[in-house]
A and B are shown apart, each in its own frame.
Chain A
Amino acid sequence: MTRDHSRAADSRGPADKPPSKQPAARQDHFFADPDEVVLGAVDTFDESRPPSSLWSDAWSSLRRQPLFWVATALTLLIIVVALFPGLFSSADPQYCTLTEHLEKPRAGHPFGFDRQGCDVYSRVVYGARASVTVGLLATLFASLIGTVIGATAGYYGGWADSILARLTDIFYAIPVILAAIVVMQVFRSRATVFSVVVVISLFAWVNVARIARGAVMGVKNADFITAATALGVSRFRILLRHVLPNAVAPIIVTATTQLGTFIVLEATLSFLGLGLPSSIVSWGQDISSAQANLRTDPALLFYPAGALALTVLAFIMMGDAVRDALDPKAVRR
């Protein structure tokens, strides 16, 4: 070492070196007044700031977004409606009498009655449950399948990746809506919320898998992974403890964005008559049956359609807010 090591790094300062004998000898040698620019010790740590992890950073940025609060309020409202529809409507959505056929709104029945004479308001309220359940469960399962497949492919590479990549390509080649139509025709009237969830998850995991694969591959060559390997941490443990937590943000973003899409998908299937059976109240079906009276009673269609759009909007806004918070640079999907 050429430098003198008796001198600690932080003690280095003005006193170390005698000032130049003739600092102002040349007119064009300018130097600032040393008091003007305060020289701190090199690279000190500011202990005064509160600690913040990446998650708490994300949270604080989330907190500042009005979009997030609007989305949260809406989402909470919708979830409460889905869980306790009885709080919002005393009428039974399944109790329909043809005598009320297309009756106009009146007290206690703010949206009027549909063709079968069912109370439209209570059907809108009770329809939330099917949509929200399908959306949440399908998102959960699709994300799980996608993450496992994508992370395995991305992390282990080689043969696992080749095979899983082909599998992903195959499922990617079949649009979800088509696959769902084909499969759902089998269930016909025997369809349940769960069968819709299974069908959607089975064909919609591809997006998450692709994102997860990319994210895992992006993380797995980081120096901290090499450092963990050099510590003797096992490969699987590295995947669980280091790789996945660092790859989870884009997966969450994709999942939240897909939630809305899945709700639309369920409604579309019900609309086509291939989704939930008529024994379950669902917006898609109500929209489908209101269609016949579109010219005369458009409101019948717009109530459930509005509820559906509002729900999807809430989840999409949530996805947007989460994406902005987790990764300001993320591109859609």
Chain B
Amino acid sequence: MAKYLGKRLLQLIPVFFGATLLIYALVFLMPGDPIAALGGDRGLNEEVAARIRAERHLDQPFLIQYLYYIKGIFTLDLGTTLNARPVLEVVANAYPVTVKLALMALAIEAVMGVATGLIAGLRKGGVFDSTFLVVSLVVIAVPTFVMGYVLQFFIGVKLGWLPPTAGTDPGFKSLLMPACALAAVSYAYVLRLTRVSVFETSTADFVRTATAKGLTRHRVVSHHILRNSLIPVVTFLGADLGALMGGAVVTEGVFNIHGVGHALLQAIRQMEPSAVVSLVTVLVMVYMLSNLLVDLLYAALDPRIRYDS
């Protein structure tokens, strides 16, 4: 297991550098000069601009700039925004609420998705299955932001059950509706994945053998069918955590939550490349780490993996 972990971590290194380089390139190689724009309409004193560039290593070749940036990541010195706010502070302020939101969404989609998926998979072709298959189709077809507005309008505005917007430092109740909106599409995928997985597992030979041993249906379902069906589902859920944090960009916009998405959009509007890079890099790192976690979880769930690759 330790060996497997080591190998996965080793594989992560080139991916880390590749992904950060790509992001860095995307943000910084773009046309336009944020430093020149800093002065607004008046324009910036050439001397001041040069000094700012030197401070931010913007006068260096691209790769050197990138290496400074990597160094910054490892020393937790992400620099400052153009209006002198430490980027680390921006990131640290933005993340907690987004993490909370993403974890709530993950919990919702996991519990609901597996529960409905299991029932649908065990009774494939039945009324429950058909109904939830249609539900999943509709849910996938409705984009997250539309789902957000629909919930906001009906539950928040019309019915008034939950606060329609979250505002700063939202609690559990304020985040519940955004989390549902965020989880919706993934829920549909979890439902479908569980359903197919449960159905396929339930026709597997070893399930028949387990039944032939004299086990009750309940034990066959809980110990053999569900346990084995969860392997691909858990893989999906883990990878989805990162995607949910990325998707939060949209949800946060709809519900006015001051998280990563909010900060990112602001940084983009204010042309703050260093903030954009850092916010995205952290998201990518979360994504990579959650994928790593999935791999480990996968290895824990499926003993064959530990020895295979």
Contact = CB atoms under 8 A, between A and B. Distances in A.
B interface: dominant SS:
helix
Contacts of B246: 175, 177-178
A182 B15 contact: no
Contacts of A272: 249-250, 253, 265
Nearest to B190: A332
A268 B276 contact: no
Contacts of B193: 331-332
A174 B23 contact: yes
Interface in A252-302: 260, 264, 267-268, 271-272, 274, 287, 291, 294-295, 298, 301-302
B141 A312 contact: yes
A287 B264 CA distance: 21
Given A186-B31, A267-B143, A329-B200, A170 B19 contact: yes
Interface string A294-317: 110010011001001110110011
Interface in B259-309: 264-265, 268, 276, 280, 283-284, 287-288, 291
A260 B142 CA distance: 10
Given A167-B18, A182-B280, A331 B243 contact: no
Contact of A268 (B27, B144, B192, B280): B144
Contact of B284 (A174, A271, A316, A329): A174
A96 interface: no
A1 interface: no
Contacts of B18: 166-167, 169-170, 173
B196 A182 contact: no
A310 B30 CA distance: 36
Contacts of B200: 329, 331
A316 B189 CA distance: 12
A166 B32 contact: no
A173 B288 contact: yes
B222 interface: no
A331 B197 contact: yes
B146 A309 contact: yes
Nearest to A166: B14
B26 interface: yes
Interface string B23-44: 1001100111000000000000
Contacts of A305: 142-143, 146, 149-150
A183 B287 CA distance: 19
A312 B31 contact: no
A214 B40 CA distance: 52
A320 interface: yes
B163 interface: no
Interface string A164-194: 0011011111110111011101100000000
A191 B270 CA distance: 19
A332 B113 CA distance: 14
Nearest to A301: B149
B144 to A, nearest CB: 7
Contacts of A294: 149, 152-153, 157
A305 B152 CA distance: 14
12 contacts: A174-B287, A175-B242, A177-B247, A183-B30, A260-B141, A271-B253, A287-B149, A291-B149, A294-B152, A301-B149, A309-B143, A313-B141
Given A174-B280, A260-B140, 5 more contacts: A178-B284, A268-B145, A271-B253, A312-B140, A331-B197
List the 3 closest A-B pairs by CB distance, nearest first.
A170-B18, A313-B141, A175-B246
